């Protein structure tokens, strides 16, 4: 009986350890995925890459009826205004002279910033 209990406990440990290891593998895959999509040949599109990122990191403040700073980033035409005047990248890159965004939170990852930049470099199309 004692032996059986021991085995039972051991197998639980294995399952738990497996779960943890599995978690690590998942993280690694995510990192790798980030690297591959951030290579110099990757070009983002507005609807697939840029808008979802803005929705996630910015539009808690920059959408709706009274957006922060009176700046809406919820549609292509709204976003293009801030691409043209340079404040979108200026604020995301924390360039001097621009308000650092997202306000009160950490800077976006280098990978995410690069994704937005690649879309702008390719002409900032409504794609
Ligand atoms: C917690 C709310 C909040 C979040 C999240 C946020 N912003 Fe802002 N943003 C503001 C406020 C408030 C201002 C106006 C600041 C001011 O004028 O003092 C502003 C201003 C700006 C400006 C004008 C900056 C300038 O110097 O002209 C841009 C562009 C901008 N935000 C883009 C973004 C982007 C892109 C994101 C996401 C990566 C983002 N914001 C996330 C609140 C936020």
Residue 40: closest CA among 117, 123, 105, 92: 117
Q: What is the phi/psi pair of residue 120, to 5°?
A: -65, -45
CA 48 from chain centre, in angstroms, equals 12
- For the chain, the structural domain boundaries read 1-37, 42-127
Ligand 1 contact, 34 CB (< 6 A): no
Quickly state the pLDDT bin for 18 (edges 50, 70, 90).
very low
Quickly state the pLDDT bin for 27 (edges 50, 70, 90).
very low
Tell me: the pLDDT tens digits for 44-60?
A: 999 999 999 999 999 99
Residue listed under structure tokens 């709204």? 78
CA of 56 to the centre of ligand 1 (A): 13
Nearest residue by C-alpha to atom 15 in ligand 1: 69
6 to 10, 19, 75: CA distances (angstroms): 6, 20, 60
Ligand 1 pocket test, pick from 51, 53, 54, 61 with the greatest ligand atom count within 8 Å of Cβ, gives 61
52-73 burial code (b ≥16 CB/10 A, e <16): ebbeebbbebbbeeebbeebbb
Ligand 1 contact, 88 CB (< 6 A): yes
Ligand 1 contact, 53 CB (< 6 A): no
**Where are the alpha helices (H) located in the chain, listed in sequence order?**
2-37, 51-57, 76-84, 87-92, 110-121
d(CA 1, CA 95): 67
């Amino acid at each position: 009986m004692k032996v059986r209990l021991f085995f039972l406990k051991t197998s639980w440990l294995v399952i738990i350890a497996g779960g943890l290891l599995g978690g690590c593998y998942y993280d690694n895959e995510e990192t790798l995925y980030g690297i591959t999509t951030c290579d110099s040949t990757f070009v983002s599109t507005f609807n697939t890459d840029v808008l979802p990122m803005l929705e996630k990191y910015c539009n808690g403040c920059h959408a709706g009826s009274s957006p922060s700073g009176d700046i809406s980033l919820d549609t292509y035409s709204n976003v293009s205004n801030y691409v043209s005047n340079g404040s979108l990248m200026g604020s995301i890159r924390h360039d001097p002279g621009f308000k650092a965004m997202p306000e009160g939170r950490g800077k976006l990852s280098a990978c995410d910033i690069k994704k937005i930049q690649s879309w702008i470099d390719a002409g900032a199309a409504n794609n």
